[in-house]
Amino acid sequence: MNMEYTPENITSLDEDEVFVFGSNLAGMHAGGAARVAYERFGAVMGQGVGMQGQSYAIPTMQGGVETIKPYVDDFIRLAREWDQTTFYVTRIGCGIAGFRDEEIAPLFAEAVDLYNVRLPRSFVDIINSRK
Protein backbone atom coordinates (compact mmCIF):
# COMPACT_ATOMS: atom_id res chain seq x y z
CA MET A 1 0.00 0.00 0.00
CA ASN A 2 1.15 3.53 -0.82
CA MET A 3 1.99 5.24 2.48
CA GLU A 4 2.91 8.64 1.06
CA TYR A 5 0.28 11.36 1.26
CA THR A 6 -0.51 14.57 -0.56
CA PRO A 7 1.24 17.45 1.25
CA GLU A 8 -1.04 20.03 2.87
CA ASN A 9 0.40 22.92 0.85
CA ILE A 10 1.85 22.29 -2.61
CA THR A 11 3.78 25.22 -4.04
CA SER A 12 5.88 23.53 -6.72
CA LEU A 13 6.00 20.31 -8.73
CA ASP A 14 8.67 18.32 -10.52
CA GLU A 15 8.28 17.75 -14.25
CA ASP A 16 6.52 14.38 -13.86
CA GLU A 17 4.07 15.45 -11.13
CA VAL A 18 0.45 16.59 -11.41
CA PHE A 19 -1.75 18.60 -9.02
CA VAL A 20 -5.28 17.10 -8.85
CA PHE A 21 -7.94 19.59 -7.76
CA GLY A 22 -11.67 20.04 -7.46
CA SER A 23 -13.22 22.33 -10.04
CA ASN A 24 -16.57 23.38 -11.41
CA LEU A 25 -17.79 22.33 -14.85
CA ALA A 26 -17.43 25.88 -16.17
CA GLY A 27 -13.72 25.87 -15.28
CA MET A 28 -13.89 29.09 -13.30
CA HIS A 29 -10.80 28.51 -11.15
CA ALA A 30 -11.37 31.41 -8.77
CA GLY A 31 -10.83 29.92 -5.30
CA GLY A 32 -9.28 27.19 -3.20
CA ALA A 33 -7.11 24.55 -4.84
CA ALA A 34 -8.56 25.49 -8.25
CA ARG A 35 -7.04 28.95 -7.93
CA VAL A 36 -3.68 27.40 -6.96
CA ALA A 37 -3.94 25.12 -10.01
CA TYR A 38 -4.62 28.13 -12.23
CA GLU A 39 -1.93 30.39 -10.75
CA ARG A 40 0.84 27.78 -10.41
CA PHE A 41 0.18 24.60 -12.37
CA GLY A 42 -1.33 25.50 -15.73
CA ALA A 43 -5.07 25.06 -15.14
CA VAL A 44 -6.99 26.66 -18.00
CA MET A 45 -9.82 29.10 -17.30
CA GLY A 46 -12.94 27.68 -18.93
CA GLN A 47 -11.80 24.03 -18.76
CA GLY A 48 -13.46 22.23 -15.84
CA VAL A 49 -12.40 18.64 -16.49
CA GLY A 50 -9.19 16.71 -17.05
CA MET A 51 -5.53 17.45 -17.74
CA GLN A 52 -4.39 21.03 -18.09
CA GLY A 53 -0.73 21.89 -17.76
CA GLN A 54 0.55 20.13 -14.63
CA SER A 55 -2.92 19.90 -13.16
CA TYR A 56 -5.98 17.67 -13.43
CA ALA A 57 -9.50 18.98 -12.75
CA ILE A 58 -12.24 16.85 -11.18
CA PRO A 59 -15.60 18.69 -11.11
CA THR A 60 -17.23 18.76 -7.67
CA MET A 61 -19.79 21.59 -7.84
CA GLN A 62 -22.52 20.09 -10.06
CA GLY A 63 -24.57 18.05 -7.59
CA GLY A 64 -24.19 15.21 -5.12
CA VAL A 65 -21.35 12.76 -4.61
CA GLU A 66 -22.81 10.45 -7.26
CA THR A 67 -22.14 13.14 -9.89
CA ILE A 68 -18.46 13.28 -8.90
CA LYS A 69 -17.78 9.53 -9.06
CA PRO A 70 -17.61 9.20 -12.89
CA TYR A 71 -14.96 11.95 -13.00
CA VAL A 72 -12.94 10.26 -10.23
CA ASP A 73 -13.21 6.95 -12.12
CA ASP A 74 -11.87 8.68 -15.26
CA PHE A 75 -8.98 10.09 -13.22
CA ILE A 76 -8.11 6.66 -11.77
CA ARG A 77 -8.07 5.16 -15.29
CA LEU A 78 -5.68 7.90 -16.42
CA ALA A 79 -3.44 7.42 -13.38
CA ARG A 80 -3.16 3.70 -14.19
CA GLU A 81 -2.14 4.53 -17.78
CA TRP A 82 0.26 7.34 -16.85
CA ASP A 83 2.20 5.21 -14.40
CA GLN A 84 5.39 7.28 -14.71
CA THR A 85 3.57 10.37 -13.42
CA THR A 86 2.90 11.10 -9.74
CA PHE A 87 -0.54 12.57 -9.00
CA TYR A 88 -1.14 14.62 -5.86
CA VAL A 89 -4.86 14.54 -5.10
CA THR A 90 -6.03 17.45 -2.95
CA ARG A 91 -9.10 17.21 -0.68
CA ILE A 92 -11.34 17.68 -3.70
CA GLY A 93 -14.88 18.72 -2.89
CA CYS A 94 -14.08 19.34 0.78
CA GLY A 95 -13.66 23.10 0.56
CA ILE A 96 -15.91 25.41 -1.42
CA ALA A 97 -18.08 22.50 -2.68
CA GLY A 98 -18.98 21.71 0.93
CA PHE A 99 -18.58 17.92 1.07
CA ARG A 100 -17.01 16.09 4.00
CA ASP A 101 -13.92 13.88 3.67
CA GLU A 102 -16.12 10.90 4.65
CA GLU A 103 -18.26 11.51 1.55
CA ILE A 104 -15.43 11.98 -0.98
CA ALA A 105 -12.69 9.62 0.26
CA PRO A 106 -14.54 6.39 -0.68
CA LEU A 107 -14.60 7.52 -4.32
CA PHE A 108 -10.80 7.07 -4.31
CA ALA A 109 -10.76 3.54 -2.80
CA GLU A 110 -9.39 2.07 -6.05
CA ALA A 111 -6.56 4.61 -6.06
CA VAL A 112 -5.28 3.97 -2.54
CA ASP A 113 -2.99 1.15 -3.71
CA LEU A 114 -1.69 2.88 -6.86
CA TYR A 115 1.99 3.65 -6.32
CA ASN A 116 1.80 6.86 -8.37
CA VAL A 117 -1.22 8.44 -6.63
CA ARG A 118 -0.86 10.40 -3.41
CA LEU A 119 -4.08 11.00 -1.48
CA PRO A 120 -4.72 13.26 1.49
CA ARG A 121 -4.00 11.43 4.74
CA SER A 122 -7.63 11.95 5.82
CA PHE A 123 -8.86 10.14 2.68
CA VAL A 124 -6.48 7.21 3.23
CA ASP A 125 -7.48 6.88 6.90
CA ILE A 126 -11.17 6.79 5.95
CA ILE A 127 -10.66 4.27 3.14
CA ASN A 128 -8.55 1.99 5.34
CA SER A 129 -11.07 2.13 8.20
CA ARG A 130 -13.77 0.82 5.85
CA LYS A 131 -11.80 -2.18 4.59
Torsion of CA 113, 116, 122, 128, to 10 degrees: 0
Quote the CA–CA distance of 128 and 20 in Å, as a whole number: 21
Domain-located, residue 119: yes
Quote the CA–CA distance of 3 and 29 in Å, as a whole number: 30
Q: What is the DSSP string of 26-55?
A: T----SHHHHHHHHHS---TT--SEEETTE
**Domain limits at 113?**
17-129
Domain-located, residue 2: no
Domain-located, residue 29: yes
Domain-located, residue 3: no
pTM of the model: 0.96
CATH number at residue 83: 3.40.220.10
Could you read off the pLDDT of 113-123 as tens digits, one per residue? 999 999 999 99
Q: What integer pLDDT is reported at residue 3 of this predicted model?
A: 64
Could you read off the pLDDT of 40-91 as tens digits, one per residue? 999 999 999 999 999 999 999 999 999 999 999 999 999 999 999 999 999 9
131 falls in which pLDDT band (50, 70, 90)? Answer: confident
How many domains does the chain contain in total?
Answer: 1
37 and 18 Cβ atoms separated by less than 8 Å? no
The Cβ of residue 56 has, within 10 Å, a number of other Cβ atoms equal to: 27
Domain-located, residue 11: no
Domain-located, residue 102: yes
Span 4-27, mean pLDDT? 96
62 and 96 Cβ atoms separated by less than 8 Å? no
Span 97-111, mean pLDDT? 97
Domain-located, residue 125: yes
Mean pLDDT of the chain: 96
Domain-located, residue 10: no
59-83 burial, b for 16+ CB within 10 Å, e for fewer?
bbbeeeeeebeebbeebbebbeeee
Quote the CA–CA distance of 41 and 123 in Å, as a whole number: 23
